[in-house]
Amino acid sequence: MISYISDGTFEGLLTCIYEAYYRRERLDHIYCGDQIQESLLSAPIQIDTDREKADKVLNSIRHKISEEALEHAFHAFLSEIDDIGVWIYRYLRLGWKVGASVDSHVWEDAVQVVHAASRKTVWESHRMLGIIRFRELQGGIYYAPIGPDHNIVSLVAPHFAKRLSDQPWMIHDIKRDIAAVYNKKDWTLAAVRQKKVLLLHDDELEFQRMWKQYFKSIAIASRRNPRL
């Protein structure tokens, strides 16, 4: 049994896929760092994220399979369902064999699982667009807490960057301690550590101070959402 451990990012998953493909290994699991399950047969292999390798996989999917396959893989990844990483790997391996027709191979388990996971994520992101509600805080900052089943913050953020382009806002996923933060120019994904401040809003001056710190410490150029 062969298992990999990634850092939980999409680039981390793509790096795992690169290593497994070129090592010709038949993966059984791809775990995130906080999902490690020790096996009695073999220890999971830690795979460090390599942006160059991830980019090679990204470009290979685009040019040798299709843009649609890349979107399916990314949306399925955001679903965070059990073992989705290894199902994406199997889906892409099939894609590298059959090319752009991979999505028509609906009898294949990997295609079924990836498509179903992708649909769940996309459906929830569309649904969330209609129910997200912002609260205007002192200083004109807009804040919206959400608790989605899937990791959809990066999917809903572009919509609000256009709709509320003249207002600073934060969409906070309180389940995952991450947020999309927008400063009237661009948005970025950030880890949120001051959960109590964000949830209770007892001290809005403290919230504003924290807001300023985000944009001092976070470089927009290094934002983590994949380049799809």
Place of tokens 């927008």: 182
More confident residue, 2 or 60: 60
Q: Report, as an integer, the average pLDDT of 202-212.
A: 58
Q: Where are the domains of the chain?
A: 3-125, 130-222
Question: Could you read off the pLDDT of 98-121 as tens digits, one per residue?
Answer: 999 999 999 999 999 999 999 999
Averaged pLDDT score across all residues of the chain: 86
Burial state string for 179-204 with b = 16 or more CB within 10 A and e = fewer than 16: bbbbeeeebbbbebeeeebbeeeeee
Q: Which of 46-50, 87-91, 177-181, 191-195 has the lowest mean pLDDT?
A: 191-195
CA proximity to 8, closest of 172, 220, 178 = 178
Whether residue 170 is predicted with pLDDT greater than 50 in this model: the reply is yes
Place of tokens 């460090």: 48
